[in-house]
A = this chain, B = another copy of it.
Amino acid sequence: MVTRLSISTDSREQLVDVTGQVQEVLRTSGVDSGVVTLFVPHTTAAVTINEKADPSVVADLLKGLSEIIPHRAAYYRHVEGNSDAHIKASLLGSALQVLAENGELVLGTWQGIYFCEFDGPRSRKLWVKITPD
């Protein structure tokens, strides 16, 4: 079964910590151990793991990506003006796996799971699929 989480973003670019929501899906499923697959059904958003302790890390991540991939560039041909968001989506990726043990997500000490908005604000979805052992 695929659980469809709703995420609301409120700026053009934003990293939303969804670790708690994903953990809640795992808890509700009753699954003890397995693999959790996260999937973003959008082409201008992504999912990644990075530091949850210091918010300046995710701010630097967004800024760093925008330094590499400018919002406006003479070579973009896509008329919607969001080619940068599409490129960032492919760079960070639409799918991610996290492991589960003893009914809990197992993550490193500093890790959080982030939904990555690159063309908001929008109402978004994050799909969660649990494959039990």
B-contacting residues of A (Cβ < 8 Å)?
1-2, 33-35, 37, 39-43, 48-51, 54, 56-57, 59-61, 63-65, 67-69, 73, 75-80, 83-84, 86-87, 89-99, 101, 106-111, 125, 127, 129, 131, 133
Cβ–Cβ < 8 Å partners of A33 in chain B: 1
Cβ–Cβ < 8 Å partners of A76 in chain B: 60, 63-64
The A interface, classified by DSSP as helix, strand, loop or mixed, is mixed
Give the contacting residue for A73; candidates B57, B61, B64, B94; CB below 8 A. B64
Cβ–Cβ < 8 Å partners of A78 in chain B: 54, 56-57, 59-60
Quick one: closest B residue to A64, CB to CB?
Answer: B87
